[in-house]
Amino acid sequence: MNKDKRYEIFSRLRTENPEPRTELNYSSHFELLISVILSAQATDKSVNKATALLYPIANTPESIDALGEESLKGYIKTIGLYNSKAANIIKTCKVLMDQHDSIVPDQRADLEALAGVGRKTANVVLNTAFRQPTMAVDTHIFRISNRTGIAKGKNVLAVEKMLMRHVPKEFILDAHHWLILHGRYICIARKPKCPACIISDLCDFTEKTE
């Protein structure tokens, strides 16, 4: 895919949604971090249902640590892998309190040192909370990047590097949100909604299946 086609794709996505946002509900950097940890192998909708009950009770490192692992499980038990997520969140709260004055760090190395935080989670926090140019490649973005031809790669890291290299700079801060929302609602895994797609005429998948 050439740079002019990529530019047109992101230009259309921006026109359709000028200010894209995560669908996770949060009111602080810490709440965002916890919600992203919880969202691994879970839907944003399921996370929002759990945190709507949790955050009014505990939404700081200190309050969640005081809540304790077993009580925390009670709030997040509807989310997949809740046992390991509860353990990781408690560990993360302790590190934030002990090493970061209870403030979510804005450096990748510090974020990835937290329990339950891998590269994708760190990228989401860096981009969404701190507006750093990062690309969190989940299953939606991996699929849409390869399917459309925007950035092809055999694994998520390869796609991330391709996106960072080829997404036009003026779109890079919001590209993650545009791609994930497009993959979630239009370019779905089975039977993508090509007739409703605003970039279908620019997409390799559409061309191949005509």
Which residue of the set 120, 191, 201, 204 is catalytic? 120
Range list of H helices, 113-152:
119-128, 139-148
Q: Is 138 tagged catalytic?
A: yes
Per-residue b/e over 133-158, b at no fewer than 16 CB within 10 Å? ebbbbbebbbbbbbbbbbbebeebeb
CA distance 117 to 34: 10
Question: Which residues are CB-contacts of 31 (< 8 A; sequence separation ≥ 6)?
Answer: 51, 55, 59
Q: Which of 148, 139, 140, 104 has its CA nearest to residue 122?
A: 104
Give residue 190's identity as a one-letter amino acid code. Answer: R
Looking up tokens 């061309």, which residue turns up? 207
Token representation of residue 58: 């505990």
Q: Are 138 and 180 in contact (CB under 8 A)?
A: yes
Q: Pick the catalytic residue from 44, 138, 161, 204.
A: 138
Active site residue 45: no
Catalytic residues: 120, 138
